Structure 1
């Protein structure tokens, strides 16, 4: 095994470079993993372009640093670990694994309460120097990581989809969907499609998917949507009120990251409805807060990461229930990382873009 490897390294906004860097060496209780696939998502793109809030390094979001290997949604094969790591995670050399994107401290009040995804002093794969990400040939899982096995019978790009799917399922859990609910999902990208699948699994009265792209709406049907509406040619607020006797939807899951989707959701919800926000927004969003309070008394909830949802996401992917071949549209060599970032930024030509460090074979 070579002592060096190829990796994408962040040097600042719009300055990512493919470099030859030292291959990481696992310490006690850690694991060395050969990366098989790593997805590119909206937060990767936000870091690539920089952000208005500075911390540590100019033009980087507060939760990100430079001189880091990006990539937080991934799968790989264990190539080295000691007995301590094997016992903790229940994995062995040769297993295909995934790891939650957050690496908690396990000591703060949130971790001790079981809310590890809100860890006060956490690390994040691909955003912090202590935990380099997966846009590389190899990576290390630290002692504090959460690790799960995934079947080798599915393509690596499908296994790497565990991360976005777990996030979508957590948003669904936050919505507390019941059998009588009319659920609206805004956006049919990777997160939105996962929300559709997760919401459908709760067996509500109806799942309605919204998007501007007809091909994404067709995918939403395959993921479990009962009805799809194209917001480019439909007044979705009026349409959903017509479908619900003038009341509005019970639940709105926002997965677009577009500012206009927020007031859209507030307006199409019924009184006492539930709004769950997951997206990563580029810009600040302004809304009429009196809709939330005086007009409708809405429950507005955030959703962050995918805590406690990874086993369910793995089961859903392994079951074959989702049209994964159509969701995972692009698998590119690591050297084509810039093309991958551009595809995600353009939006209309892809759903989930993944890099394959070992090549596309």
Structure 2
């Protein structure tokens, strides 16, 4: 038995910065090779908030071309049930009617230099769900998965909000992979939001000497311990540099992963690292950040690496969530109806009242 698919649905529509509206729109039509899913949950990401607030990263300014588009349904952290597909889609993704699925946030072209080398997360002409008109996102009752998408099955036995967390967790695991963590490393993670907590869990799975979590909120530091941090530092009350120095005989941390997107976290990381240390940047900044580059070169000869999206890490992220190893009920702190999207954005903006906010369309 299949869902009866209506002609109209509710969706959040972006009309521009700080102008998101709940509207009734047409249910999207599936083309050959695509799948239609009924959305069960969609997470609100910090990048969704920054796009909503008009950050230059998304809307452009005199120095930067616009990246986001108007009249788009936002949402790239989603999970849903397959309600329509054809044989081509079923065979490509190994899915069936009624399966619960997630899709990677990027929709690559599969033809550019990066795609042909397996570096699809850097696809040159790519689309991203929820930011481009060609790929409407998950803040809606239904959405289409294009033929170029990367689709993964996920257990139907876990809560929908947990399944939707596969997107941020895959991103966290990619950053951890970039860090090349070894057994004797002291690893510092800045920020215990959804991405930082995933980094803590991923770093702990690599079994380094210490996983140190930094944040301003005691409750988030407590959650970081539940995810695998053996040392936590409240940077509002404690001197992180002194803690790390004492832990490493004055040398400094081996690895620093930045997950806050706050400008102050960048020089903090450069100062906490030892010489020849590794800095991994994942944060999405709302404005430009300046640092003393001589720390990177002349002082410490650091390896500074970026991390983008979660390529090749989705199966591991899904397995970690399905295993029950993470305190998912505490991580997925708030579930709101789709109509309460503005309240959800406000919760994310506050930074202290929630961890992961998820919208439920039904």
TM class by smaller structure: over 0.9
Alignment pair present for 1:209 and 2:229: no
Task: Single out whichever of 124-133 and 277-286 deviates more from structure 2.
Answer: 277-286
Question: Offset of 1:284 from its aligned partner?
Answer: 1.2
Asked if residue 219 in structure 1 is aligned to residue 223 in structure 2, the reply is yes
Tell whether the 8 Å contact from 1:51 to 1:61 is kept in structure 2 after alignment: no
TM-score computed with the length of structure 1 as normaliser: 0.97
Q: Which residue of the partner structure matches residue 263 of structure 2?
A: 259
Deviation at 1:51, TM superposition (A): 2.5
C-alpha distance in 2 between matches for 1:259 and 1:236: 16
SS of equivalent to 2:55: coil
Contact conserved, 1:340 with 1:355, CA < 8 A, in 2? yes
2: CA distance, partners of 1:59 / 1:155: 43
Distance in 1 (CA, whole Å) between partners of 2:64 and 2:263 is 21
Q: Of the candidates 280, 295, 301, which is equivalent to residue 297 of structure 1?
A: 301
For residue 204 of structure 1, give the secondary structure of its aligned residue in structure 2: coil
Tell me which residue corresponds to 2:37: 33
Cα distance 1:215–1:59, how it changes in 2: closer, same or farther (>3 A)? farther
Q: 1:52 offset after TM fit, Å?
A: 3.0
Give distance in 2, aligned partners of 1:150 and 1:260: 37
Structure 1 unaligned runs (5+)? Answer: none
Give the equivalent residue in structure 1 for 2:178: 174
Shift of 1:57: 11
1:46 and 1:56 map into 2 onto residues whose CA distance is: 12
Task: Please give the TM-score of this superposition, normalised by the length of structure 2.
Answer: 0.97
The answer to whether 1:12 aligns with 2:19 is no
Instruction: Give ranges in structure 2 of 5+ residues lacking alignment.
Output: none
- Report the equivalent of 1:101: 105
Query: Is the CA contact (8 Å cut-off) linking 1:171 and 1:303 kept in structure 2?
Result: yes
- Does the CA-based 8 Å contact 2:57-2:67 persist in structure 1? no
Alignment counterpart, residue 323 of structure 1, candidates 327, 342, 348: 327
Q: In 2, Cα distance between the equivalents of 1:15 and 1:60?
A: 21
SS at match of 1:355: strand
**Residue 148 (structure 1) aligned to one of 123, 144, 152:** 152
SS in 2 for 1:198: helix
The change in CA–CA distance for 1:14 and 1:61 in structure 2 (over 3 A counts) is: farther
Residue 273 to residue 320, structure 1, CA distance change in 2 (3 Å): same
- For residues 283-307 of structure 1, the C-alpha deviation after alignment (integer angstroms, 9 at most, x for no partner) is 2111110000000000000000000
2:36–2:85 Cα contact (<8 Å) kept: yes
How many Å separate the matches in 2 of 1:323 and 1:147?
25
- Count of aligned residue pairs for this structure pair: 358
Q: In structure 1, what is the equivalent of residue 73 of structure 2?
A: 69
- Aligned to 2:344, the other structure's residue is in SS state helix
SS in 2 for 1:250: strand
| Distance apart, 1:53 and its partner CA | 5.9
